[in-house]
Structure formats: C-alpha cells, structure tokens
Amino acid sequence: MSQQFIHTFLSVDCVVLGFDNEQLNALLVKRDVSVEEAGSLKLPGSLIYDQEDVDDAASRVLFELTGIKKMPLRQFRCFASPNRASRAEDRKWLNQAYQPNINRLITVAYIALCKIDRKHHNISKYSSEWCPLKKIPQMPFDHNEILLASLGEIQKWVEMEPSIIFDLLPQKFTISQLHRLYESIYAKKIDIRNFHKKVAAMPQVVALEEREVGVAHRAARFYKFDKKGYSKLKNNL
C-alpha cells in the first residue's frame, strides 16, 4: 500500500426516492456531457466547492439539478473505495465535466424521501427524471451500489421511525397504496390480510369518511396519517 496521504476531490450524491402510488422511483439526472461508453443517467451529484460544507452542497445540487428546494436530506454514508472512479468512461466524463487529473473521488451520499405530487412531477426541464427502482439502468461510478445501500438504510430508518413512511404518501391514501409502498421499501411480497391487521393496530392511521371516486373496482376508503396524535403518543412513551 502506498503510504502517501490522499489529496482528493470530494463530491455529494443524492438518493431521492418518490412514490407514484404504484412503486418507488429514484430521481436520476442526465449527464450534461455526452460520453458514449457510459450510461447517461446517474444520481444527482456534484463536486463540492472550496468553501462549502457537505450538507450545503447536497442541498445546492438538488436545487440546481431538479429545482427542488428545501427537501430534508439525510447524510448516510461516505463511499471511498479507491477504485470507485477508475473506470475509463467515468474518468473521461470527470475530465470533461470538471477538470483533468481527478485522481481520486470520494463521495458523501444523502437520502431524501418525497411525495411525487404535481410540484415534484414537473422536473423534466432540469433533465431529471423519475425512474422506477425496477428499471434502474447501469449507472456510472458506484451509483448502483449507493442506491442499493440507501434502501437498506431506509428499511432500518422506517423500523426506528415508522412515521417517515407517510412522507412518501399523499395526504389521503388507501390501504392498497400503503401496502404497495411497504412492499416497495422491503422489496418483497407482504400478505395483504396480515397487513390489514398491522394497520388496524396503528393508532396513527385514521380512517376518513371519504372514498375513492371514478374507479373501476370497489371504491376504497381513504386514510390519513394523524401526525399530531402520533407525536402525542410518542411523547407519552
């Protein structure tokens, strides 16, 4: 092992996940420089500036590349494998997009969860797009690995703080939507009858009088997340 201390460039990369009521999607951006050999989609990311902290860089990147402001981003891991930027096509892109001779690149990864509502649907003008998790292409650097690791992180996060799952849902949702979301996050089938029991035991999931309209199947009841009640419940623990 070389005993030189590294002098490295540092970047941030953001895993932004959104639920479109059917499945989980990751927000990907098109590389702004065409490199024939590489896939054109990647996680939103950027090298950080000289006077910038990493958390600020992550917010800046997300705004510049997607137009999304003030989204809570959670730092989750530093990816620093010595080989993560050593593929020829990735080096070529770094040369074109940033500067030559970036010998090593270390990244700090962030996670955000959001609703894909009207506001977040209209991101295509930034060359960003929502890509279903099942259709994620081969991405540059270790971006596929980062995305996979983020899902493991979110599973742990949901176990610790189940209420974050409602960040991904619309204000009013059906049990089917909630069920599909759990299945997406855990990447496995969850028995629907057991799931109904599980939900019935969640005091924070409150049934509304309202039902779906204009659907072919039997109109399902809407539910909401009772944030106030949930906070009160938690504080009494």
* Residue 147 contacts residue 24 (beta carbons within 8 Å): no
| For a copy of itself, the closer CB: 47 or 123 | 47
Q: Judged by CB under 8 A, does residue 236 bind a copy of itself? A: no
Taking contact as CB under 8 A, which single stretch among the options 15-23, 80-88, 173-181, 185-193 is the one that binds a copy of itself? 80-88
The first and second tokens of residue 207, run together, are 């049934």
The CB-of-82 to a copy of itself minimum distance in angstroms stands at 5
In the complex with a copy of itself, the residue whose CB is nearer, 42 or 84, is: 84
155 binds a copy of itself (CB under 8 A): no
73 contacts: CB under 8 Å, gap ≥ 6: 14, 55, 58, 59, 62, 110, 111, 112
Return the exposure string of 58-69: e unless at least 16 CB atoms fall within 10 Å of the residue's CB, then b: bbebbeebbebe
Is 50 among the residues that bind a copy of itself (CB under 8 A)? yes
Residue 49 interacting with a copy of itself (CB under 8 A): yes
Judged by CB under 8 A, which of 36, 51, 214, 218 binds a copy of itself?
Answer: 51
| CA-based nearest residue to 144, from 63, 54, 38, 53 | 38
> Which residues, other chains included, contact 42 with Cβ-Cβ below 8 Å and sequence gap of 6+?
28, 29, 31, 139, 140, 141, 143
**In angstroms, rounded to a whole number, what is the distance separating the alpha carbons of residues 21 and 183?**
12
CA–CA gap between residue 127 and residue 107 (Å, rounded)? 22
- DSSP string covering 74-87: EEEEEE--TTTT-S
For 117, the 3-state DSSP assignment is: coil
Contact between 182 and a copy of itself by CB under 8 A: the answer reads no
| C-alpha torsion angle, residues 118, 124, 130, 136 (rounded to 10) | 170
| Smaller CB separation from a copy of itself, 31 or 77 | 77
Residues 15-34 touching a copy of itself, rule: CB under 8 A, are none
Instruction: Out of 64, 72, 89, 99, point to the residue binding a copy of itself (CB under 8 A).
Output: 99
Select from 8-16, 126-134, 184-192, 221-229 the region that touches a copy of itself (CB under 8 A). Answer: 8-16
Residue bearing tokens 């703080």: 161
Rounded to a whole number of angstroms, the minimum distance from the CB of residue 95 to a copy of itself is 13
Specify the residue, 61 or 116, whose C-beta has the smaller distance to a copy of itself: 61
Q: How far is the CB of 14 from a copy of itself (least distance, A)?
A: 14
Residue 82 is a binding residue for a copy of itself (CB under 8 A):
yes
Q: Is 87 in the site for a copy of itself (CB under 8 A)?
A: no
Interface residues with a copy of itself (CB under 8 A) are 1-10, 47-55, 75, 77-78, 80-82, 98-99, 104, 106, 108, 156, 159-160
